[in-house]
Amino acid sequence: MPIEISNSLRAPSVIRVEGVGTYYANLESLAVNANEVVSAASIKRITWSTNGNIQIVRNANNIASLHNAGHFNCVEWGHSIANNSSSNVVITIATGGTVFLEVSKTATYTTPLTGM
């Protein structure tokens, strides 16, 4: 599977992308179910390995250009990469590689009514 998104309700999502290509992580795909509406997502951590390069783009703006292997943890600095956080995430892997992104979500929640 070239892209896999693991979601948790009221918690961060993890996006895993592997292999050559361009992949799209839409904000809607970060929701656990229809009761969670994601309006923004900020990148908290990035871990990658590539023999080429990996580009992360949001709203036509290059957010990160990654080479070789590494780990970038914004949480340790008390920040996140929030540029264009209301835009979808586009990940392009050239030549080969894998990248994991942990994203925090801004969302609204609706709870269905239950019987009394």
pTM above 0.75, yes or no: yes
Segment 31-59, tens digit of pLDDT: 999 889 999 999 999 999 999 999 999 99
The 3-state DSSP class for residue 2 equals coil
Of 8, 39, 12, 11, nearest to 100 (Cα)? 12
Separation of alpha carbons 43 and 6, rounded Å: 14
Kindly state the percentage of the chain with pLDDT values over 90: 78
Q: H or E stretch including 80?
A: none
Measured torsion, CA atoms of residues 55, 80, 104, 90, in degrees rounded to the nearest 10: -20
The pLDDT of residue 112: 60
